[in-house]
Amino acid sequence: MAINYPNGKKFIPSKTQPAAKKKKDFSFSNRGKTLEDELNETNDYYLQLGLAVIHKKPVPVQIVKVEYPSRSAAVIREAYFRTPSTTDYNGVWNGKYVDFEAKETENKTSFPLKNIHEHQIHHMSQVVKQNGMAFLILRFSSLQRYFIMRFESLEIFWNRMLAGGRKSITLEEIEEASIEIAPSAFPPIDYLPVLHKL
């Protein structure tokens, strides 16, 4: 299936996050689950207990060409991104608007900032200006470590990159500028208690 941006350019998935099939994490604690799977389970848990209403945002795609090889099956052959997507998740918690991006990396020593896009930084900045909560949930998959970083801290590292500095955030910097979340069974990533500290 060919997916194109609104300007007609072809979508080419980044090498760090292939679109077709992500390499799964097969550690004992989270067998085969991706960060998105874990967050979706966590958000369902919060919703069932009435703690928060947070959902994954749908990707804005315009379907252009569909083929019907049989009566019961449809195959999308061509689609376009209508607009660049903003962040992965949004919703309401404790009377506050919550908006965050979720990223994972197999790197053990740093998080590459190329995994974040300028329009996402702009969007999170607008959320914060309206007194909403914007942050990044980051998973180091090879280390099984999870962090939550306020947008204001992320913005400092982003601006450093724009000024010609590092194009990544070191693990040490993440440890200093973030709060680590210990994975659990129910919910898999209990990030709401951390929001009180943000």
Is 86 a known ligand-binding residue? Answer: yes
Flag whether 112 is in a domain: yes
Is 41 a known ligand-binding residue? Answer: no
Tens-digit pLDDT profile for residues 122-151: 999 999 999 999 999 999 999 999 999 999
Q: Give the range of the structural domain holding residue 159, as residue numbers without chain letter.
A: 34-59+84-197
Tens-digit pLDDT profile for residues 72-115: 788 877 766 565 667 889 999 999 999 999 999 999 999 999 99
Is 120 a known ligand-binding residue? Answer: yes
Flag whether 45 is in a domain: yes
Angle (CA) 145-149-102 rounded to 5° is 70
Flag whether 159 is in a domain: yes
Is 25 a known ligand-binding residue? Answer: no
Lookup: tokens for 30: 């989270």
Work out the mean pLDDT of the chain and round it to a whole number: 84
Compare 158 and 62 and report the one with higher pLDDT: 158
Q: What is the CATH number of the domain that holds 150?
A: 3.40.1350.10
Give the helix ranges, DSSP H, for 1-60.
Answer: 35-49
- For residues 53 and 96, the answer to whether their CB atoms sit within 8 Å is no
Q: How far is CA 124 from CA 88, 89, 98, 136, 179, in A?
A: 11, 11, 10, 10, 19
How many structural domains are present in the chain?
A: 1
Q: How far is CA 66 from CA 10, 58, 60, 74, 80, in A?
A: 18, 20, 17, 7, 13
Q: Cα-flanking dihedrals φ and ψ of residue 174, to 5°?
A: -65, -40
